[in-house]
A and B are shown apart, each in its own frame.
Chain A
Amino acid sequence: MDGYFWAVLAVGVASTLVCVAAGAKGYGPNDITILSVAAVELTLLVYLGGSIVSAVAGGGPAGPAWEFWGYLLTALVIPFAAVYWSLLERSRWSNFVLAAVGLVALVMTARMNQLWYGPDLMNALGWPG
């Protein structure tokens, strides 16, 4: 697990908690919940930028490259899709949709870390599977 993973973990979990709390209180999507999702997007954009620099510098993903980049680009689209879907109906449930973004980003980043470092290094780091 690298710094990008821990960053997505921190921002993603925070965003999920904020959105769940807002949904539980009965609020619809508001500036705070949408900005928390934007923070997840920003973190993923930093991951994208950092990954491009690392790949150009010679250290591309150890696993299949297009699978890694496919995950990253999909992860970058999901926050936009979630915000779009949530704004079509501004009920409390849309905040639960936004809450899912942080968790999905976290799971996808864990997989991207696996793909970037490859199975050998992941085993060395004690990451299962």
Chain B
Amino acid sequence: MAPQRTKPPTPGKSARSSGPGRLIVAVYAVFAIAATARAGFQIAVGFSHAPVAYSLSAFAAVVYILAAVSLARAGTRWFWTSVAAVGVELAGVLAVGAYSVFRSVPLPDATVWSGFGQGYGYVPLVLPLVGLWWLYHNRAERKH
């Protein structure tokens, strides 16, 4: 990793989407596609079947899109947008995960965040932790 540090980021480009950020943005993009497709499919097939679960799926999709876009962009405003999106993502996966595990009456259909992201290899649980660490690592006052 050390040799990478010597290369200054291109002016006008965000350090957040550089280096390991390339991978983080890419994984967020994949989850944005997956969550959007899932929510779109669920809602198109029958929203009334499980309105709460499908609304949560749609909400998760919006959060992933916002996180992917904001992480890829430079500037303080996008930085805080990322913090908000990734923070909401972490809260969402913990809340929906806990609800789906501990409630006796489960949601009638699964969301991305059910079982702490079990259906997606727990990536939805790990991703916001990595995202928050990465944002902290790239906070504005830090000099590389």
Q: Which residues of A contact B (CB under 8 A)?
A: 26, 64, 67, 70-71, 74, 78, 81-82, 85-86, 89, 91-94, 96-97, 100, 104
CB of A6 to closest CB in B, whole Å: 21
**Are the C-beta atoms of B4 and A92 separated by less than 8 Å?**
yes
Determine if B33 and A93 form an interchain contact, defined as CB atoms under 8 angstroms apart. no
Q: Tell me the complex Cα distance, A81–B22, Å.
A: 12
Minimum C-beta distance from A50 to chain B (A): 23
Q: Collect the chain A residues with CB atoms within 8 Å of residue B30's CB.
A: 78, 100, 104
Given contacts A26-B3, A67-B41, A74-B37, contact A100 B22 (CB under 8 A): no
On chain B, the number of residues with a Cβ less than 8 Å from chain A's Cβ atoms is 18
- The listed residue (B21, B27, B37, B41) touching A100 by CB distance below 8 A is B27
Whether B26 contacts A97 by the Cβ 8 Å rule is yes
Q: Any chain A CB within 8 A of the CB of B52?
A: no
A93 contact from B23, B37, B41, B45, Cβ within 8 A: B23
- Is B127 positioned at the interface, with any CB of A under 8 Å from its CB? no
B residues in contact with A89, CB < 8 Å: 18, 22
A-B contact pairs, 19 of them (CB 8 A): A26-B3, A67-B41, A70-B41, A74-B37, A78-B33, A85-B25, A85-B29, A86-B22, A91-B18, A91-B19, A93-B19, A93-B22, A94-B22, A96-B22, A96-B23, A97-B23, A97-B26, A100-B27, A100-B30
